[in-house]
Structure 1
Amino acid sequence: MPLILTEEDKPWVVQKYGGTSLGKLLPQITETIIPSYLETNKVAVVCSAISGTEKAKGTTSLLLKAIECAITPTRKDELNDIIDTIRDEHFKAIKALKLRAAIGNEKLFSEAEADVVTECEELRSFLSAAQTIGELSPRSKDRVVSTGEKLSCIIVAAALRSNGIPAHLVSLHNIVPLTNDHTLNSTFFDTLSSHLSSHLATYPQTSIPVITGFFGPLLPSLLQTIGRGYTDLCAALTATALSAPELQIWKEVDGIFTADPRKVPSARLLETVTLEEASELTFFGSEVLHPGVGEVVKRAGTRVRVLNVGRPEGRGTVIWPSSSGVSTPLSRSGDSSALGVSSRSNSPASGFMAANGYYGVNQARRAPTALTSKDAIVLVNVQSNRQSKSHGFLAKVFNVLDGLDITADLITSSEQSVSLALSNVGENEEGIGRVVKGLENCGKVEVQKGMAIVSVIGHKMRNMVGIAGQIFSTLASGGVNIYLIGQGASEINISLVIKEEDALVALDIIHADVLGIPRIKTHMPIAQNSMMKGPWLY
C-alpha cells in the first residue's frame, strides 16, 4: 500500500514548460502531467511565453518586434497590429480551454480574458508613450518582454483551476532587490533565491504557484544580462528557493541524445549526463540548458530531468551535478505503474554515475557521451605584423572582438598567429567586413566561410588514451579535413572546425566508429540531410 503523504511532507518538484509546448500541448500539461505528480509532490510551474509552431512567431518574438516599432514613430499601425495579434492568440487559447472545460467555468474564463485585455492595453499605452519620445531604455524593454510570461501564466492558471486544481499566478518582475550591483555570481543568486523563497511562502501551500519565467529588474536588463533562455535560469532559482530535489525541463523531445536524431538516425537517448557535459553540449549547438543553470543547480545539489511533453511516460534524461551526493529520482506516485511509467532508478547519484562509467573502475573504458555540431561558422586566421610581443598581439585581437561584441567559440594560438572560430558574426559580407577591418591593424587576416564546429563530448575524455587519435583517423577515413582543433581545460570536449558540407558525414562516422553505436538504415540521403538546421533540444 503506497504511503500517503501530508501536504507538508511532500517534496517540491519544479516543472518548467517552454513556449511551444504550452502553445501546442496545454491540455496534456494541465490535465495529465501536472495532476500525475500531485499525490506525492507539491508542484511549482515556471512558464515561458506561449509560442506557436515556430519560435520566431511566438509571443516573445512579437514583443521584441513591438519594441522595434515603438522606437519608430511611423510604425504606429504596425505596433497596434502586433498587440492585437498577441491578444487574439491568447483569446484562442482560452477559447480552446472553454471547449474542454466542464459547465460552470464561464466566470473563470471571462476573468482570464479580462486579465489578458488588461495586460495588452497596458502594453499598448506604455509603447504608445514610448513611441512619442522615440526611445525605450533597456529596463523598459524588459517590462515589455515580461508581458509574454504574464499572459502565459494567466492561461495556465486558468486551465488548472478549470480542472479543479487550485493555482495562482506569481509574477517575478519585481523580485530582484534594487541595488547597483547585479553581477551574476554566487552571492547574487543566493540573495535572489532567498527573496524568492520568502515571496513564495506568502502564498497558500495547497495551491500551485504558476510562476513567470521572467524575473527582474536586472541592470542593465534581463535580456542583455542573461539572454533569451532566462526561463531555465528562473526555474533553477525556483528549485533552489523551494529546496526541490528535482527540476524538470519539459520539452518536445524525449531527452538528450548521443547526437541530433535528425542528422544521425542511430542516435540513442541518454539516461544520464553530467552538468558539465550538458553545458558543453549547449555551448556547441544543442539547446539543453541555459548556461547559467549549471552553477545554480550544482551548488544546490539539484538534479535536472529533461522530459517530453508528448510522451510523459518516458524516463527522460537525468542531468546530475557530477559531485552530487545521495539523491533519489522521484516517482510520480506510490504506484510506479501510473501513466504507464516504469520504475525509475533508485540508485543514489554517486552510484548511478559509477554504474554509467563516470567514476570507479569503469571510467577509463567509457566512450565519449555525445557529439554535436554548430553550423554557420566563420574561421578567421590572423598572422601578426610583428609590431608587438605575443601577449600584446593577442590582447589587440581580443580587444577588437570585445569592441565588436563578438565571442570566439574556439581559439588556437601561437606566438605570432591566432585562429578564431566565430558563430555570431553572420555569414554576410557586412558582418565579416567589420571583423576584418577591426583585425587588420593586428596583422594579415584570412577568412573562411561555410564552416562548422563538430564537438565530441565526454566527462572523462582527457583520461581516454588515444581518443583524439581515434577521432582524427576516423575523420581521415571519411575524407574529412580538419581546419582547427581545440580541447578546453574542462577536459571533456574535443572540438574540430571542418567544412559545413562535411558536417553530417563527420557526425555519422564519429557516432558509429568512436561512440561505437551501430548505424541504422535511413531513406534520406546524407546530402539531403546535411543542411538541416536547428538545435535538437528546443
Structure 2
Amino acid sequence: MPETLTNQWIVQKYGGTSLGKLLHTITGSIVPEYLTSYSVAVVCSARSSTSKSQGTTSLLLDAIRLATSSETDTVALDEVIDAIKKEHLQAAQDAIDTQTDAEILQDLQLAIKKDCEQLRSFLKATWTLGEISDRTQDKVLAVGETLSCRIVAGSLRGRGFPAQVVILDGIVQQAYGRDHRHLMREFKSHPAQFLQGLTQSIQQKLLQCEGTVPVITGFFGAMPDSLINSVGRGYSDLCAALCAVAMNAKELQIWKEVDGIFTADPRKIKSARLLATITSEEAAELTYYGSEVIHPLTIEQLDASAIPLRLKNVTNPAGSGTIIYPSRQSSTSSRGTTLDSKAILHTQVAPDFSTFMDAKSTFMTANGYYGEANYRRTPTAVTVKEGITVLNIRSNGMSRPQAFLASVGAILERHDITIDLISSSQQMLSLAVCCTKPERVKDATAEMSELGYTSIVECMSIVTVVGHKMRNMVGISGEIFNALASARVNIYLISQGASEINISFVVKAQDALLATEVIHTNVMRIPLHSEQENSFIKGPWLY
C-alpha cells in the first residue's frame, strides 16, 4: 500500500446496495486510486443485495420482531439468521480469490460465522424474555454493519491493502458513561453538541489503525432511545460525518449510485439536470422534504467543522458529482482544533483554511451563488414528499388561540405524529403530517374533536421549491402559483419556511408529478426532455 502517514484524510461512505452490487469497483479501483494521494477511511452501511427493504438491516429488524413476538418456537428466527449468514458467506467468497487468498477467505468466513452465532444466542435469550430494550436493539442492528465491514476489509486485504475493521458500538458509553438518564438528558438538550462529543472517542479508535485502511461500522453505538429512533435510517451518513470531523478530513465523500443532486428526481423528470454545487441549507431542506440527499444532522456536523461534502457515483467514479461546501466558518480558528490537534497532525498535513475558503468562493461564484453576476435568479431544485395527510381543525372557541395551538400540539406528540407543514389563524389550523400508521392519525383526530370540528384529507403530497436566492426573488411565489393555476393544479396548503429558501405546498398525490413538471419547466426555465431533443433537429421540417 502507498505511504499515507503524511497525507490528508478522505472519509468515504458507501451505501448498502453499492457494497452489495459493486464491491469489486469499490475495493478494486476507487479506494486504491484515492490511496495514492490520501489517507482513506471507509465507512460502511449494512449490505443490501437489491434494495433496502431486502437488506441486512431489514432482516435484522425482522429477527428482532420474531424474537419478541413469536410465542411458540424460534424456527422462523433461525431461518432469518441463517439467511443473513448464508448471504454474507457467499459475498465473502465472491469478494476474495479462493486460490491465491485462501487464508484471508477462511479467516473472514470464520469471523462471519462467529458473529452470526453470537447473534443467534443473543436473540434466543431475548425470545426467552419476550422483550428487548433500546440498547439491546442497537446491539443487534450493529451486526449488519460489522459483517459488511469484515467483507470490505477482507476484499482490500486480498488486493494487497492492509485494512482493519473498526467497530464503534461502544463510543457513546465511552464518551458519556452508561447512565441512561444522563445520556437521554444530554442528547435531548442539544443533539448536535452531544454528537460532536463523540468525535474524541472516534479519533482515538482511528488513530490506532496507523498504516492501515480503517473500515468503520456505520452503526455507532447505543444511542438514547435507540439509534434508529434518535437519528433514523440515515445514521451511517452521520457516522461518516463524525469520522470526518474526528480526523479533520479534507472532505467527506458519500458514494451512491447516482451522479449527485439533481434539479428534480431524474427518475421522474427526464430533463432534470445535475447540480455542480448547492448550499448546505438547500441540501437540508431537500432532504427534509423528500429527496434522499443527506441527513440534516450530518450537514450540521460538517458545517460546524468547515468540512465539504461531495456526493459521487460508484458507477461513474470519474464524474465530479455534487459538492456541498459548509455555509459558515468553523467556530474555532482552524479546522479540527476542538480535538486533539497533536494526535491529528502526526497523521496528516494540516489543511490551509484560507486556501479552502478561496476555493469555495471561486467555485460557488462560478455556479452563480456569489459575485457580481449572481445569475441564479431561479430556484435550485424541486422535490416531492409523498404519503401526506392534511388535518383541518376549527376551534370551537372555548379556548384562547395559544391554548388551542398548544392542545393540538400535545395531542400530536402523544400519538407520535410529526408536523411537516402548518398554516394557522386564531381559530383555524391546517396541518400536513406524515405518518406510516394511519390509525394514529385517526386516533389523534378523534381526540382533537373535543377542541372543535376536525377533518382529514388523505393521499396528498408536499411539493417543495428550494433556492438559495429565493429570499431575494420578488414575485417568485406568484410565478410558482400562476404556473400551477395554468396547469389546473389545486393547492390545499401553502407554507414558506423561516429560512426563506423554500416554498412548500400540498397537492393531491395524483397531481404531484404534474406540479413538479410545471415548476421545473416554467419557473426554473429548464426545457422538457422532448424540447431539448427537438432543439437539436435542424429544419426544414415537413408536416
TM-score (norm 2): 0.88
Partner of 2:476: 467
Q: State how far apart, in whole Å, the 2-side matches of 1:142 and 1:239 are.
A: 23
Alignment of 1:416 with 2:427, yes or no, is yes
Kindly provide the amino acid, as one letter, of the partner of residue 130 in structure 2.
G
Alignment of 1:403 with 2:437, yes or no, is no
Alignment of 1:480 with 2:475, yes or no, is no
Partner of 1:92: 90
| 1:101-500 alignment runs, 5 A limit | 101=97, 103-176=99-172, 177=175, 178=177, 179=179, 180-181=182-183, 182-183=186-187, 184-204=190-210, 206-324=211-329, 348-363=359-374, 365-426=376-437, 428=438, 430-500=439-509
Deviation for aligned residue 1:185: 3.3
Alignment of 1:52 with 2:49, yes or no, is yes
**Contact between 1:363 and 1:460, CA under 8 Å: does it hold in 2?**
no
After superposition, the C-alpha distances for 1:157-192 in whole angstroms (9 at most, x for unaligned) are: 000000001100000001122152341534323321
Deviation for aligned residue 1:102: 7.3
**Contact between 1:275 and 1:321, CA under 8 Å: does it hold in 2?**
yes
Q: State how far apart, in whole Å, the 2-side matches of 1:121 and 1:162 are.
A: 25
Q: State how far apart, in whole Å, the 1-side matches of 2:39 and 2:375 are.
A: 40
Q: Cα gap change, 1:312/1:434 in structure 2, threshold over 3 Å: closer, same or farther?
A: same
Partner of 1:16: 13
After superposition, the C-alpha distances for 1:329-356 in whole angstroms (9 at most, x for unaligned) are: xxxxxxxxxxxxxxxx996112222222
Alignment of 1:34 with 2:39, yes or no, is no
After superposition, the C-alpha distances for 1:231-257 in whole angstroms (9 at most, x for unaligned) are: 000000000000002000000111000
Q: State how far apart, in whole Å, the 1-side matches of 2:3 and 2:17 are.
A: 34
After superposition, the C-alpha distances for 1:503-527 in whole angstroms (9 at most, x for unaligned) are: 11111110011111111129xxxxx
SS at match of 1:378: strand
Kindly provide the amino acid, as one letter, of the partner of residue 170 in structure 2.
N
Q: State how far apart, in whole Å, the 2-side matches of 1:392 and 1:436 are.
A: 17
Deviation for aligned residue 1:226: 1.1
Q: State how far apart, in whole Å, the 2-side matches of 1:476 and 1:507 are.
A: 13
Q: State how far apart, in whole Å, the 2-side matches of 1:79 and 1:304 are.
A: 40
Deviation for aligned residue 1:196: 1.0
Deviation for aligned residue 1:222: 1.4
Kindly provide the amino acid, as one letter, of the partner of residue 221 in structure 1.
S
Kindly provide the amino acid, as one letter, of the partner of residue 275 in structure 1.
S
After superposition, the C-alpha distances for 1:131-160 in whole angstroms (9 at most, x for unaligned) are: 111111110001000000000000000000
Partner of 1:337: none
After superposition, the C-alpha distances for 1:460-490 in whole angstroms (9 at most, x for unaligned) are: 2111011000000010111111111100111
Q: State how far apart, in whole Å, the 2-side matches of 1:364 and 1:413 are.
A: 35
Q: State how far apart, in whole Å, the 2-side matches of 1:374 and 1:187 are.
A: 29
Kindly provide the amino acid, as one letter, of the partner of residue 385 in structure 2.
K
Kindly provide the amino acid, as one letter, of the partner of residue 282 in structure 1.
T
**Contact between 2:380 and 2:466, CA under 8 Å: does it hold in 1?**
yes
SS at match of 2:507: strand
Deviation for aligned residue 1:323: 2.7
Q: State how far apart, in whole Å, the 2-side matches of 1:496 and 1:75 are.
A: 50
SS at match of 2:296: coil
Kindly provide the amino acid, as one letter, of the partner of residue 116 in structure 1.
I
**Contact between 1:364 and 1:460, CA under 8 Å: does it hold in 2?**
no
Partner of 1:525: none
Kindly provide the amino acid, as one letter, of the partner of residue 185 in structure 1.
P
Segments of 4+ moved more than 4 angstroms = 324-327
Deviation for aligned residue 1:361: 2.8
Q: State how far apart, in whole Å, the 1-side matches of 2:503 and 2:126 are.
A: 48
Kindly provide the amino acid, as one letter, of the partner of residue 97 in structure 1.
A
Q: State how far apart, in whole Å, the 2-side matches of 1:261 and 1:365 are.
A: 21
Identity of aligned residues (%): 49
**Contact between 2:384 and 2:512, CA under 8 Å: does it hold in 1?**
yes
Deviation for aligned residue 1:6: 5.7
Q: State how far apart, in whole Å, the 2-side matches of 1:241 and 1:270 are.
A: 28
After superposition, the C-alpha distances for 1:242-299 in whole angstroms (9 at most, x for unaligned) are: 0002000000111000000111110000000111111111110011111210110000
Deviation for aligned residue 1:419: 0.5
**Contact between 2:192 and 2:297, CA under 8 Å: does it hold in 1?**
no
Q: State how far apart, in whole Å, the 2-side matches of 1:499 and 1:262 are.
A: 20
Kindly provide the amino acid, as one letter, of the partner of residue 491 in structure 1.
E
**Contact between 2:368 and 2:374, CA under 8 Å: does it hold in 1?**
yes
SS at match of 2:198: helix
Structure 2 gap segments, 5+ residues each: 335-355, 532-543
Q: Cα gap change, 1:346/1:175 in structure 2, threshold over 3 Å: closer, same or farther?
A: closer
Once superposed, what is the RMSD of the aligned Cα atoms? 1.9
Q: State how far apart, in whole Å, the 2-side matches of 1:316 and 1:364 are.
A: 22
Q: State how far apart, in whole Å, the 2-side matches of 1:311 and 1:302 are.
A: 23
SS at match of 1:408: strand
Q: State how far apart, in whole Å, the 2-side matches of 1:34 and 1:398 are.
A: 48
Kindly provide the amino acid, as one letter, of the partner of residue 350 in structure 1.
S
SS at match of 2:219: strand
Q: State how far apart, in whole Å, the 1-side matches of 2:194 and 2:163 are.
A: 29
Q: State how far apart, in whole Å, the 1-side matches of 2:463 and 2:196 are.
A: 36
SS at match of 1:119: helix
SS at match of 1:214: coil
**Contact between 2:305 and 2:329, CA under 8 Å: does it hold in 1?**
no
Q: State how far apart, in whole Å, the 2-side matches of 1:220 and 1:284 are.
A: 24
Q: State how far apart, in whole Å, the 1-side matches of 2:328 and 2:363 are.
A: 12
Q: State how far apart, in whole Å, the 1-side matches of 2:137 and 2:432 are.
A: 31
